[in-house]
Amino acid sequence: MTTENQYAMQNPVTQYPQPGFPEQPQPAPGSVHKLKPHADHGETSYKGFGRLAGRKALITGADSGIGRAVAIAYAREGADIVLNYLPEEEADAREVVALIEAEGRKALCIPGDLSQEAFCQTLVSQAVQGLGGLDILVNVAGKQTAQKAIADLTTEQFDATFRTNVYALFWLCKAALPHLPAGATIVNTTSIQAYQPSETLLDYAPTKSAIAAFTKALAKQVIGQGIRVNAVAPGPFWTPLQPSGGQPQEKIPTFGAETPIGRAGQPAECAPLYVLLASQESSYITGEIFGITGGTSIA
């Protein structure tokens, strides 16, 4: 496995660890340091080219997983960043801050619960104040808790999943749009679950369908203002979300094996797509959903 240079030609099948992984239960929301094997967020592999120089980004779920990889990539492309995460994820978030600041970029931490509308509004206003504006909103944070039967899925969990995954997206976009100039971008995170739902994710999968539809509708509404809206649809990615309740423990050893590539994706493999969609290189792309699934179709 070679990850020190993401641009060196490699066999994608063997580039990163393949199943099986050990069962490794974690309490939610999980930590990157308890993952076995460790995930690659681009800490040593991502090289930037200044594609987001001077940009101001708000990233949710920025402490771990895909959000962590996006924050690292954006900083190395020249952006200043506001990181949002849950208060209990502070230790992981501080590591990301150090990586951002090592690139000479500004990193502001605003922890809090996205399932609360008032906090979402505060998050955006503090981000705008702290960065002196906002031109990229990246919605990554999400709640995923597997349940084997509908009888085990409580109304409280169903409501919490929708509030975190869908309502927060709505609140953040609504609050951010008055501050976004022409040329700004919103990048949302849906999932392969929107197209091929798992039987254990009866609440999570429909939230991802909602995000896909929301993205397409909002893109049409705001393109007249010069604002683009797209979404990334990851397949199985190796993040703390999975062993901390996102998957049944018996599925962890073979997680990602069902993809044509035969392994789970690493967050560092997702970040370049978020960079592209935030950069001017994607100026003719809006209202699109981009699958990054290891070869599994989202059609």
Model pLDDT for residues 137-153, shown as the tens digit of each residue:
999 999 999 999 999 99
Report yes or no: 298 and 192 within 8 Å, Cβ to Cβ: yes
Domain assignment present for 143: yes
Could you give the number of structural domains in the chain? 1
The one-letter amino acid code at 130 reads G
Q: Is residue 14 part of a domain?
A: no
Query: Whole-angstrom Cα distance, residue 13 to residue 101?
Result: 33
Instruction: Identify whether 88 is part of a domain.
Output: yes
Question: Residue 159 is part of which domain span?
Answer: 48-292
How many angstroms separate the CA atoms of 66 and 93, rounded?
A: 13
| φ and ψ at residue 221, rounded to 5 degrees | -70, -35
124 occurs within a structural domain: yes
pLDDT at 1 over 70: no
Residue 4's pLDDT is: 63
Q: What is the CA radius of gyration of the chain?
A: 18
Q: 290 phi and psi, to 5 degrees?
A: -110, 115
Q: Is residue 289 helix, strand or coil? A: strand
Q: What is the pTM of this model?
A: 0.94
Least confidently predicted of 160-164, 181-185, 242-246, 271-275: 242-246
pLDDT band at 2 (very low <50, low <70, confident <90, very high): very low
Residue 35 lies in a domain: no
The one catalytic residue among 7, 204, 274, 284: 204
Average pLDDT score over residue span 106-121: 98
Please say whether the dihedral angle defined by the alpha carbons of residues 233, 183, 124 and 78, taken in this order, is positive or negative. positive
Residue 39 lies in a domain: no
Cβ partners under 8 Å of residue 239, min gap 6: 30, 32, 35, 39, 64, 65, 66, 267
β-strands 136-138, 185-189 pairing: parallel
Residue bearing the bigger pLDDT, 179 or 27: 179
User: 135 in a domain, yes or no?
Assistant: yes
Asked about 204 being catalytic, the answer comes back as yes
Mean pLDDT within 65-94: 96
Q: Any idea of the CA torsion for 248, 249, 250, 253, to the nearest 10 degrees?
A: 120
Alpha-carbon gap, residue 115 to 188, rounded angstroms? 16
DSSP codes of every residue in 105-139: --EEE----TTSHHHHHHHHHHHHHHHTS--EEE-
CATH number at residue 88: 3.40.50.720
Query: If pLDDT is split at 50, 70 and 90, which confidence band does 22 have?
Result: confident
The answer to whether residue 18 is domain-embedded is no
The identity of residue 1, as a single letter, is M
